[in-house]
Amino acid sequence: MKKVFASLAFAFALGFTTVSGVYAADAGKVRVVHASPDAPAVDVYVNGELALENVAFKANSGYLDVPAGTHDVEVFANGSEYAEGEGVLQADLAVEAGKAYTVAAANTVDALEFVVAEDSMEVSEGKAKVRVGHLSPDAPAVDVGLVGGDALFSGAEFPGITDYAELDAGTYDLEIRLPDGTQVLPLGGTELAAGTVYSIFAVNSADELEVLALVDYESAGSPNGMPTTGLGTPDPLQNSWLLVMGGLILVVGASGFVWKKRVQN
């Protein structure tokens, strides 16, 4: 596995919180996603201590409250013995209080890298907010838009996460398509709730493309739930993460849903 070092302005892992948009004093929020299609389950160490264990592909941590400061983070294959500086992915991660971030471990296992984006924790009344992340390492650039209509996001490339687009709440027939209009993945009947912010990540290899939909923020009184599509209401991810923090063990269900590429006959 290739070792990758980075310096990223985001916070990491010393506590867990729900998607409330409320920040602990002098803290930020961080959500981590395993988006490397051929990487094994991993263990994550923070400042030399085991923080996340047996994190599988497509699992995400939910938002973690993180104190301000810099944290050394190393990723190892699950079950590997910890050795300082020997992680397959390593970063010095600095928290900025009052901000939220998504951090994805992406690309193939021999070129593993962090993809980081700041998350939005606000949305206009009666609106929904959506962005798209291209995290499929061998997939070409794509557009995301209305079936037979305009693109909402154009030319999304790996490894990138777009800016947000604010839309009226409602149901949309969306699709992922190539710039020439060829449909890659249908997302018909996508329901976007008012007062909710979403991140939609394309993951896996190009021939097994899937969509991972995460809620970044829900305003008070907004409907609770993930978007659904014409592919049916997705099942929650079954992967759970074992959070080991200061002797406290919390089992947290991954807060994501997956749509898979429809097999064409």
pLDDT of residue 166: 97
- pLDDT band, residue 82 (cuts 50/70/90): very high
Backbone angles phi, psi at 206, to 5 degrees: -60, -35
Calculate the CA dihedral of residues 244, 245, 250, 256 and round it to 10 degrees.
-80
- pLDDT band, residue 21 (cuts 50/70/90): low
Average pLDDT over residues 21-30: 73
Residue that wins the pLDDT comparison between 46 and 228: 46
C-beta separation of 52 from 43 below 8 A: yes
Residue that wins the pLDDT comparison between 99 and 238: 99
pLDDT of residue 221: 60
pLDDT of residue 177: 96
Percentage of residues in the chain having pLDDT higher than 90:
54
CA–CA dist 116, 132 (Å, integer): 13
Is the CA virtual torsion 37, 39, 40, 41 positive or negative? Answer: negative
Question: Is pLDDT of 13 > 80?
Answer: no
pLDDT of residue 187: 93
Average pLDDT over residues 105-113: 94
pLDDT of residue 56: 95
**Mean pLDDT computed over every residue of the chain:** 78
Residue that wins the pLDDT comparison between 225 and 50: 50
Number of Cβ within 10 Å of residue 249's Cβ equals 9
pLDDT of residue 3: 41
3-state SS, one letter per residue, for 129-152: EEEEEECCCCCCCEEEEECCCCEE
pLDDT of residue 73: 82
Average pLDDT over residues 204-230: 77
- pLDDT band, residue 28 (cuts 50/70/90): confident
Buried b (16+ CB within 10 A) or exposed e, 173-189: bbbbbeeeeeebbbbee
Average pLDDT over residues 216-222: 80
Residue that wins the pLDDT comparison between 58 and 255: 58
From the list 14, 128, 136, 127, the residue with the least C-alpha distance to 64 is 14
Task: Return the structure tokens found at 200.
Answer: 């939609």
Q: What is the pLDDT of residues 32-79, one digit of tens each?
A: 899 999 999 999 887 898 888 899 999 998 888 878 788 888 899 999
Question: Is pLDDT of 224 > 60?
Answer: no
Backbone angles phi, psi at 68, to 5 degrees: -60, 145
Query: Lowest mean pLDDT: which of 211-215, 220-224, 255-259?
Result: 255-259
pLDDT of residue 22: 58
Q: What is the pLDDT of residues 138-177, one digit of tens each?
A: 999 999 999 989 999 999 999 999 999 999 999 999 999 9
